[in-house]
Amino acid sequence: MNIENVHLVYFSATYTTRKVVRAVAARLPGTVVEHDITALEPPDDVALSDRGDLMVVGVPVYAGRVPVMAADALLRFRGRGTPAIAVCVYGNRAYDDALVELCDLLGDGGFGVVAAGAFVARHSIFTSIAAGRPDEADMAAIGRFGDACASLLASLPSVYGLVPPAVPGNRPYKTPGAIPIYPSGSRKKCTHCELCVRLCPVHAISPLRPTRTDGNICMSCGRCVEVCSQHTRCFSGMMYKMAQRKITKLCRERKEPEWYLAGR
């Protein structure tokens, strides 16, 4: 398949998913066009063809699933026998059903999934978990995945008749548990720069009280903690500490990159 345009679609609140998919795209032929779908507002409709287009999609794993907002936004992208590469990025607990769900979403959208990968990055809520990842070894593996995708694409006449990648996961997908923990800032240290207000994907922070977060809207993505210019926003509290203890125990073992290629 001749690839001219790589449509790089990502949902990335704390930017690790973006880093991973950019590294994949760097190994692929074609011009990269980025579509950042980390927003409540739906993206414009995008229709891709089977002549020269490729879509690379990256999502973080939220509670073992594709984030709901990302799944909704992906409905706007339609393929017509267009090849696609599915990538999920997770915080060293597990990716559960997220990768299989992402592949299903792409298949339903008219894409032929040629490859799917799961990579580890720092946990965006419990940031001591997988701190520093993706590290050098991860980035090298991500590069090898990109190279494997490029070789496979070059060897295929089209996506028709491909055996989809044998991605692990369950159908029906697991029911995601609620995560009732929200970040807040310090009134003493906040300088009202409003970066968190502007960059919160769901508009859960009011400019009038930027140290607070509307718990009815917040999806606990960690974007405001990541971008806070004074490093004052953080997750905290009893519930957070208890969850942190529990999840840290589950994440002790280092998980390694995994990927799956379509067969002929």
Residues of this chain that interact with ligand FMN (CB under 6 A) are 12-17, 60-64, 89-94, 121-125, 179, 220-222
Q: How far is the CB of 199 from ligand FMN (least distance, A)?
A: 12
| Token pair listed for 13 | 């609140």
| Measured distance CA(264)–CA(262) in Å, rounded | 7
| Helix 16-25, helix 136-155: angle, nearest 10 | 40
Of 115, 121, 7, which Cα lies nearest the Cα of 53? 7
DSSP 8: E
Q: How far is the CB of 248 from ligand FMN (least distance, A)?
A: 12
| Measured distance CA(43)–CA(10) in Å, rounded | 12
109 half-sphere exposure, CB direction, 13 A CA radius: 28
Question: CB-wise, 47 or 250, nearer to ligand FMN?
Answer: 250
| Measured distance CA(64)–CA(87) in Å, rounded | 14
Question: CB-wise, 61 or 106, nearer to ligand FMN?
Answer: 61
Q: How far is the CB of 20 from ligand FMN (least distance, A)?
A: 8
DSSP 9: E
φ, ψ dihedrals at 198, nearest 5°: -75, -35
Question: CB-wise, 28 or 221, nearer to ligand FMN?
Answer: 221
Question: CB-wise, 148 or 179, nearer to ligand FMN?
Answer: 179
Question: CB-wise, 165 or 222, nearer to ligand FMN?
Answer: 222
Q: How far is the CB of 90 from ligand FMN (least distance, A)?
A: 4
Q: How far is the CB of 208 from ligand FMN (least distance, A)?
A: 25
